[in-house]
Structures are given as structure tokens and as C-alpha cells.
Amino acid sequence: MQSTELRIGNLVYGINRRSEVHLPATVPLKVLQIELFNCEVLPHEENPAHEEKFFKISNADLSPIPLSEEWLSNFGIKKNSLKIQDIYIDFLYDPTTQNYLAVSNSIIIARFKYVHQLQNLYFALTADELIYNKNIHAD
């Protein structure tokens, strides 16, 4: 990934270079510091205030997390719809492009595939962080 795609607080996967096949790990990492070629990260469940040192990882070893219905639910987005102030945004999956479309009043406002892109869109619209909690599922 490139550093320009990321914001502090984004969730990404790290690529496991220890195995024969280099696949993304399944534990989300939270980006805590962004540099041109590296990021400092922690597993998303760890509290950075309680850690003295973060993991430094090459941006080339970061992998975006594919957005899914489960991820939307873990962000508290109910029935793929989100209300931001007086605006409703629906998240529709387009199987032909494998993108999610953010739609408001029949207007596509964004297309994206990854969790960090949804986080960035939410922050741009609200100036707040989108909270991830894998234990909360929207109804």
C-alpha cells in the first residue's frame, strides 16, 4: 500500500512473510504512524496508551482489508445504510466491479473495495472516526 492511501487509525492487514506463501494475516492492524516507506501499527484490539513500542512495518507489507457485509455490520452500519446528520447513505454491492457504492438520493458519492477507504470516506463526511467493534453486529 502507499502511504498516501492511509490515515492514522485505518485498519489494514500485515502480510505474513514467514510462511512459504505470503498471504495477509487475519488480525487487523491499526495504523498509528505513517511514514513514506513504513508505518507503525498495533493489533487493533491493543491500546496504544499501554504500549511502549509499536510494530514498524513496510508499507509494501500492508494489505487492504476487503470490505464485506460482516465489516459493515462490525462498524454498526445497519442494513447497509448509515445516517450522517440528515443524510442517508446506502452501501450497495456491485458484483460486476466488486465495488461497494455509497449512494445518497440516488447519487453515487463513492466507490470502494476496502475497509480503509470506508473509514476515510466516513472521516471526510463527519470528521469523526468510524468505530470498529467485532462484537457488535447491526440488526
- DSSP secondary structure string for all residues of 61-122: GEEPPBP-HHHHHHTT-BTTEEEETTEEEEEEEETTTTEEEEEETTEEEEEE-BHHHHHHHH
pLDDT tens for 32-67 read: 999 999 999 999 888 888 877 788 999 999 999 999
Global pTM reads: 0.88
Give the domains, in start order, of the chain with CATH numbers: 3-63 (2.30.30), 69-126 (no CATH)
The pairs formed by 15-23 with CB atoms below 8 angstroms and a separation of 24 or more are 15/61, 15/62, 15/63, 17/61
Rounded distance between C-alpha atoms, residue 29 and residue 27, angstroms: 6
Give the residue-averaged pLDDT of 115-125.
96
Report pLDDT for 138: 45
